[in-house]
Structure 1
């Protein structure tokens, strides 16, 4: 019998690609998608659940999954304030992890944060990501996987001029980057999603942290 996956954030770059990959993978029989708005039906395997991420307790019956994938995230600009950003990138993610920790079927929890995540950072974005990582490590999760991508490549529904410029230079100079410097350059969102699927199916216990360079490695290395 196949596994049940649960995804939060399936409309973002990584989450959308992750959903597509899970739908096409026979390893998973069912996919529960927690969403704040209706989603087009992707497959008979997929069940979308309209979700209030501030009240996940009411959805405990819908959260009986083996693998939890948290791809929730926004930007300060889109959120409109630090408080609104914190709610999505910390509170909602932490609430989901808390529920996963209480769910008997949960085998592991996967979360996308960011390269440079550090609770002591002077950059608010990195600070919140670091705070989230620290908080998740304290929960009683059977296994925790943290993915720290650099700038994400992929088709967005909105324009982000700064990211477009950064992507241009990333692609221009990536050929010349070697060693640890490669971790600073952009990575395809689909590759991050693939890394999540690869590691989920291996199912190693404990804490695992994958910065961009490591994500590239696990998605190119043959078993």
Structure 2
């Protein structure tokens, strides 16, 4: 288990978490050698007009390639994962105003009745990233600090999007909004069991998979 402490929301948060993720993957048999393949990486800056929703994308340049791969980071707490055992696929990144909603049918009704307005769709619909790095780690709510990576899933964003209808039909009934404190906007996700067969098909399971499909 990789251990470190860093503040959520700080300027270097995603860069630090990405470094920790690389350390974790380097220690995994299937991804051994990934750090040696990377030439450089950097955080993609958030547009000034969208500072409320910071960009979590990392541009990664691999050796002997001309075009960088865009990777997005997403965190989920160990406690939530152990309790529910699901992977939370980002359906809507931002809608206003914030109200609690349960289920895709109810969510669509709120949109159609103009009770909410979508400001930014989630990665299942719109995403500039090629790869999603889904990180399960500890989170201290009182101190706003993440620590200890427990597990990482590497997912092909295009494959996730290609299966949008499946996620909606199979699990849309369980769409949930993220709990927000002192926020005027909301976000929503579709929880999918980690062992779901379609989700498994979206996984990049090894360094060889990464080389074959992206490099």
TM-score by length of 2: 0.32
Q: Which has the higher contact order (CA 8 A, sep 6+)?
A: 2
Which structure shows the higher helix fraction?
1
TM value normalised by structure 1: 0.31
Q: Structure 1 or 2: larger strand share?
A: 2
